[in-house]
Amino acid sequence: MRCNERIKFAALLEKAIALGFDAVCTGHYAKVITDADGNPELHRAADWAKDQSYVLGVLTHEQLKHSMFPLADTPSKAEVRAEAERRGLSVANKPDSHDICFIPDGDTAGWLAEKIEMTTGDIVDETGSKVGEHPGANAFTVGQRRGLKLGTPVADGKPRFVLEIRPKENKVVVGPEALLAIDEIRGIKVSWAGLPIAEVATGDEFDCYAQVRAHGDPVPAVAHMELESDDDGATRGNLVVTLTTPLRGVAPGQTVVLYQGTRVLGQATIDAARSLQRAAL
């Protein structure tokens, strides 16, 4: 998402405008709709299976004004391929990309091991008791089950999953699958795609759908801004999202994107993910 934010729709767009162009046109599956007042809104593409509005939720009002997505109304990727083949383009049958562009072999743990110093640490259960050791906390992801190599068997005999990663303590927290369910998300670095809806400025709650992965399922939620005023008088705040349907595998550092219908409202970086069931322990 930072690539879109800082390169394609920042540096590239800035250069294009400086050269006299009106917009940057990309092959993202997303749609820009202009409202009655001439303001751009970001929406999902017609092909929801390929929709990329999640990764574009960081775009600003000004960036959307100068963005074009010609694949917005294309019903399917098959039609795009057919048109490319009809025109004799060499990329007509190019395989879809599913990997991180700078980790083409998909070995994220190996790439991190080369870039970040790994230090052994404790694996603890939801009560804080040590149940094993890990080679480096950064090698794990929330929701992971395989490769934990727990030294202490659990009483119920059921598998354990990574519930939380605590980099500052170099600890990995594991527990039963049920405790992966997240009910509340708190977000920082909040931004709004286009102009924010009225409730953003007032701090009132609003209904929406929350999505935490590029191709994850959006779930119903209620959100609001916790507003605070800076010394300069500017009003800022953090985003609080209460999920009507709990989500699994949510972790700090991920992005939560909010929708109303097909419209992208905005996004935030997840700072904390709260499980009501874990809080009750």
Domain with CATH 2.30.30.280 in the chain: 116-179
Which of 18, 36, 91, 101 is the catalytic position?
A: 101
Domain boundaries 116-179, CATH class: mainly beta
What does CATH list as the number for 181-279? 2.40.30.10
Task: Note the pLDDT tens digit of each residue in 104-163.
Answer: 777 777 787 788 888 899 999 998 999 999 988 888 889 999 888 887 777 777 899 999
Question: For 49-72, what is the mean pLDDT?
Answer: 94
Active site residue 25: no
Q: What is the pTM of this model?
A: 0.86
Domain with CATH 3.40.50.620 in the chain: 2-86
Domain boundaries 2-86, CATH class: alpha beta
Which of 2, 3, 7, 214 is the catalytic position?
A: 3
Domain with CATH 2.40.30.10 in the chain: 181-279
Structure tokens, 227: 């507003």
259 and 211 in contact (C-beta within 8 Å)? yes
Question: For 21-43, what is the mean pLDDT?
Answer: 95
